[in-house]
Structure 1
């Protein structure tokens, strides 16, 4: 499968402002813009026909791709401006050799900066790109890594969920099975006994949309009947073939996460040739499974699975490269809260002392534009950090010189 990943994305309007400050006239500005590439695309999965097409196009129309085409062994690097890549897409679609996959991959990369469609869950609307939303964690398990089962009882879990809603959570994620490294699965009956009373209790007292963290179709079916709006599957619909159909039949939404291995084995020896490429391929396959079951794309979120089959370095690299996952065109939900790699960065602090490190990761994700939803244990503090990061990222009032 061909995939195009935008490595950088610069904005020509910012360069125009620089040119104006330099005193350059409009014809000179246009001439400079024609020679400066604004986007670099990394292409993977190219066939020999694709490579030959790109090379021929570059030689015949060098003005289309001023940075040229560099490709070898199925991988290529293209540099240019968005409108030049649009010409490439048109030419690929018209080529007799059947290059629609190349055209689609480049077109998807060009659309990576476009916000996904609005999602409605219950009575709430999620306008992706407007701000970073907060999902609060409600653990109904006795062995959670983050809180040690403090909220395992039904009443305690409901009270905790209501407190998170009051603190400003946009969603609540209820889980009845621990997925910490080394954990073993529980039966569907045990999971249902833990989560259904909590869902019912929360549904009766708050309109905050409810998510259920489960990999089982049997649990999802009852949870959706009880009032849940979203199924959060850490296996990306790869463990229970019936789960996508349950979500589709209920008209619910889903979050599909990447994982390497299982919670019991995932941290034993995680390895990747290209962690970004592998995560993209896994999530792409998960999207296909969801679509085949009848789930609309507009009701799918994606999660790169920080800490799920990744080393310390893999986690950091993925967080730095989150914007590259935008090529899939769907909202991103990311969970870093209290995770082990943050404890290591903070000098070995236990989960209960990782709030500051969590807020650092949350703020960076918002500033980079890498997450639409962050999954956290400390909602009020995360909301404050996001308010600052989102405001800095979106501020455009730098004086009259910057007015559009």
Structure 2
């Protein structure tokens, strides 16, 4: 008997027992849809984390020092900027300031920095302009507002050209940053950016304890980090515990490792339901063999070989698991879209995950169908014909 004839017989058997077939496929449907939904959610989480880290800046190194005796002076920052592989350097003096306009006042994060900050931190302006080197050189009292800060003090009005009070000093707004949202739990939109020289006087702090460095390429980032660490060690001998050099790539690798582990765990948990579905298929196939014992005896009596009977029941198990896998894929994709819209979650569907979950469902069906098929193929035709 040909394989197509076996498939037809399998479909006819499934059709004749609709409810039982649906219940048999239910385990596979739940398993496949669970794998797709959970893994897609985990991959969406990975994408979110990667985007948030990239929002902090590309090819980014962050140097932090602790204490006034380890402040990074202009000469030391200049040495860091001349290292091979360093594209741009942006020193930052930060603090909290009181911002006021008319009757609105609030505490806002302040970042006093230079013109390269926009490049290093991947910050673009939606209105007006960013800081320039001349602004810092001439100690200009100008400010670039984060999107949230601009919304708080100006609403729908255009802030560019207007004035705000920062710690009681009048500052002219020259630009508004494009919204970046939250990155790793902190908002990049609730900020006021001023020239470095102006900000140092504003917060009464001339000690620079944080510098951002941008590498020329991601491939050279480890090399640049080694250079920066060597330079810091020469500038601050025997004080390695008093400063840190953080590599954005290492952070991304760490987060990727965590999310990949989470993805594997979720996929494994969902895969257990596929195995349960396979046990359901084996159970139903054993019942089917008992019910069709006489049919098997007739087929063997008229010349069917053991291989033919074995193939028939294996194909029936494969058809059941395949249909369950296809329905599971559709249910999983549908649930993913519902969760994405209802819970505002990022769900990333992967073709490889969909294909692997389907193939795994088919393999599960075939593997758990081997025992019942083998039992059916070994039936003695005379005993089978006499079976009641």
TM bin, normalised by shorter chain, reads under 0.3
Taking structure 2 as the reference length, what is the TM-score of the superposition? 0.20
Considering only CA atoms, is the larger Rg found in Structure 1 or Structure 2? Answer: 2
Higher helix share: 2
Higher RCO (CA 8 Å, separation ≥ 6 residues): 2
TM-score (norm 1): 0.19
